[in-house]
Each structure stands twice: as C-alpha cells, then as structure tokens.
Amino acid sequence: MIGTSNSFGCGNTDFYAVKIDSLGRHEWSKSYGGIENEEGFSVTQTFDKGYAFLGFTDSYGAGGYDVYLVKTDSMGNFQWQRTYGGSDWDFGYSIQQLSDSGFIMCGLTYSYGSGNGNVYVIRTDKIGNALWTTAVVDTNYYEYYSVGNSICVEKDFLYAIVGNFSPKEGDTNAYVVLINNKGIVKKTTTYGIKNNHYGNSINKTLDNGFIIFGATDSAELGKPDEMLLKLDSVGQMQWMQVYTSAGYSIGHDAMQSPDGSYVAISTSNAYGIGGFAMRVWHIDATGTPLCAPSHGGKGAQQGNSLTIAGNGNVAFAGASNSPGFTEGLYDIMLVQWKSDSLINTYPFTIKNFYDTCFCTLGVESQDIIHPEVRIFPNPVSSSATLLVQGDMGEDYFFNLYNEQGECILYRTPLQSTNRGQSIAHIERSNLPPGIYICEILNGTGTKVASGKIIMQ
C-alpha cells in the first residue's frame, strides 16, 4: 500500500509504504521524500519484484509541485526517484508498468496544456526517463478543467484513463481518454446524464471492456451517490448504475472478479455506526448489488482502493480515526474478504500495528544546470573543492547524500568569493568509497542545483 504520513519522515508529509502478508501481518514499512511535502497515490509491483510508488512532491523538481516517482526493491529499499513537470503545479495519481519494464502514468498538470488544469500523461523507460509527456487538450472548449485519476493498460500500445472534465459553463462529466504508445490521443469521451458525474477508477473487465467507479449527484442535486459505469472495448457505455442512499457517498475503486461479479470500495455516511464509513461492495455482472456492508468505528473512515489476490481474497484499503482502531489522528485501515465468505457474513477483526519506521531521503538524479556546480578533483581521494557559480549576493548551503539517500552533511554553508562564486571544502575523512550526491540550496532552503561526487 502507498499513502501519506506526517507521523515520521524527512519533512512535513512523506510517501508512506506498507507491505503486509496474506494474513494482514506487517512485513515492512518505509517513508520516502524530502524536507517539504510528498503525497503518495498509486503503487505497481515491478517485474524485478520491487515497487514503483507515484504521487507528487514540492521537495524536488522544477515547480511548486511535481509528479514524483520512487522505485524500490522488494523490501522497500530506495533505488531511484524521478520528478516530472514544469514551472507550475503537476500531480501524479496513477501508474502501471508495461511489458518493456517502462511505466505509464496519469495525473494533472498546470504547467502544460491550456493552463486551466489538464490530464497529464507520462511514458517512461524502465529507469524512469521520460520518453514522452502529453497534456490532453480539448480544442472544442475555450476554458475547462480536466484531470486523470486512474489509468489501465488496454493493450501494450493503448492506454485508458478516467477522470473528470469540467467546462467553464456546464456540468462536470466522467471523462475517458484513450491514448496510444506515442502519446497521441485516439479518443476522448464524456459520460453523464444530468448534473455532475465523476470517474475515480478504471479497470479492465473479462470481455476486454472497462469498469469505472465514481459518483454522481444526478439523483439528488448537491448530494453524490456511488456510480458504476460499464464500457465496452471501444469505450461505448453499456450500462450505468447509481446506488442512491440518504447520505453522502463517493465510489473510489472497483474491479471484476474471476467469476464475473464486481467488488468495489467507497466512502459513505449513509450507513455504519459513526460518521463516514468504509463501504465495501459485492455486485453482480449486471451492476445489481448483492451486498454492501460498512466497516469502521464511531469516528470517520474512508475507503480508497482494493485488490484481488490470486486465491480470490479481496483486500480493501483506506483510513480510520475511530477510537480503538488507531494510534494517531488517522491510521491505515485494511479489510479482507475471504473468497469463500457467504453474502452478508463478513467477520471483521481489528488489528493494530504501531509503526516506528524512518524516512529514506530521496535524491534527484537529474543535474540542474543553473547555477553551475563544479567539484574538483573528482573522483576524490582525500579532499575536494565545491564551487558554485551563481548570483553574487546569494548565500548557498549544501547537503551531501550517500547512495542510500542518507544525509551525511546537512546545510553546510559555502563561502562567497564576491565574484558570483561560492566555495566549500569537502574532506574525505571516513566516508566509504561510492557515489555521493551534493545538493545545493539557496538562502531560503530551495534546491537550486546538484552534482555527483565519486569517493575513491
């Protein structure tokens, strides 16, 4: 699982990854990020048994927020990270790995496209280098907003994205984008009857179509209900089901089971013993609910995502702040259904785990050209000089990280030469051989450049 935590880590909030076994027992947990904010939204297991975690950051990158991709090994140990985006805000929400070991991602960009917010699609190679990026722009509208919330692989050369499309005047609609492996948009379609419709997840179905889960206020203006939308292989709507209730409900994720039925997860205050509850669904192949029990305590719960295991068991993930469930303000909440469970008989056992994980501080691999950084001699045998060519009146500091992302030297000042240059001396001391990253910060703590140091 991937999410966000400010219980521990390197900055305000960080990626928070938790690995459990098939019985729900904790195996490991890690956090990743920098000194500012990171939020994690999506994870895919990679062919090397590791993981790729996607979200956004304002600790690294080119703009206020940037898409943030972290790659780890099977134990969650940091391997590399990448950021994507421009000078404005950019967010990553969903990721899948492809057959060539590269990645396809979607989210939201304000840096590119129309400037009002557009679906952002990124295709990379296996080590995260961008092969192409696309902001999906609809030329039929002068002003609008669109976002990509979820992506699935239709074929190796075609991807399906669901999100929302909101023109300046008019209702919001669920929005599906079909885009090929060259970044060319093949088709865009909006779905809705009246009022607002929102698409939060998209997954493949057994007939090569798609299942979309989200919400709509078409039944009662101003109050959303869960919406399940079935599409065929070319994106034509086959049916739409809206599950009305007296409360406020939003669907977050749905998948088709091997027997043709669907399982889904939502957040709703229509049922349960507290405020909002995690509502989990079993739905037949036509969209008719078989059951939808709510899980949680007297506080607030939310349901975010689900997965179906190879043995047919279903795991639902979200969060809770109910007394007896949590150690802090909000904690991760996980519910598992057994594949042989009977309808309406889902035993629910609370297990608590008090986490004490520590953060892995990421380091950017892309060097930033301005200001210019020089390190000499490099490789380093005993000592080296670090020189930054930048603004004459700027005060610079540097952080030094090892290959594991651990900070060896923190906010070490550079001395200005009053000629637009600042220097510092780095002593080899007891540092072991290896590759180190030197991160240059200006007086406000903003990273402005980086360089690589090789210790012999």
Instruction: Tell me what pLDDT residue 366 has.
Output: 39
Q: Are residues 441 and 353 in the same domain?
A: no
Q: Are residues 122 and 139 in the same domain?
A: yes
Please give the Cα distance from 390 to 371 (Å, whole number): 5
Instruction: Tell me what pLDDT residue 368 has.
Output: 35
pTM: 0.79
Q: CA separation (Å) from 379 to 248, 376, 383, 385, 456?
A: 61, 8, 10, 11, 6
CATH of the domain at 425: 2.60.40.1930
In this predicted model, what pLDDT tens digit does every residue of 394-421 receive, in sequence order? 788 898 888 777 788 888 998 887 666 7
Per the structure, the complete domain to which residue 300 belongs is given by 2-359
Instruction: Tell me what pLDDT residue 22 has.
Output: 86
Instruction: Tell me what pLDDT residue 367 has.
Output: 37
Question: With a cut of 50, which residues of the chain have pLDDT below it?
Answer: 365-370
Please give the Cα distance from 112 to 130 (Å, whole number): 15
CATH of the domain at 26: 2.120.10.30
Q: Give the contacts of 330 (CB within 8 A, at least 6 positions apart).
A: 319, 320, 321
Q: Decide which of 315, 333, 359 is a domain's last residue.
A: 359
How many helices (H) and strands (E) are present in the chain, helices listed first? 0, 36
Q: Decide which of 359, 383, 411 is a domain's last residue.
A: 359
Instruction: Tell me what pLDDT residue 427 has.
Output: 86
Q: Are residues 297 and 387 in the same domain?
A: no
Q: Are residues 376 and 339 in the same domain?
A: no
- Six token digits for residue 49: 């048994």
Q: Are residues 220 and 129 in the same domain?
A: yes
Q: Are residues 227 and 293 in the same domain?
A: yes
Q: CA separation (Å) from 292 to 76, 272, 280, 449?
A: 34, 11, 5, 52
Residue at token pair 């997965």:
307
Instruction: Tell me what pLDDT residue 454 has.
Output: 85
- Six token digits for residue 233: 């292989």
Instruction: Tell me what pLDDT residue 344 has.
Output: 53
Q: Decide which of 306, 335, 359 is a domain's last residue.
A: 359
Q: Residue 4 is which amino acid? A: T
Q: Are residues 287 and 433 in the same domain?
A: no
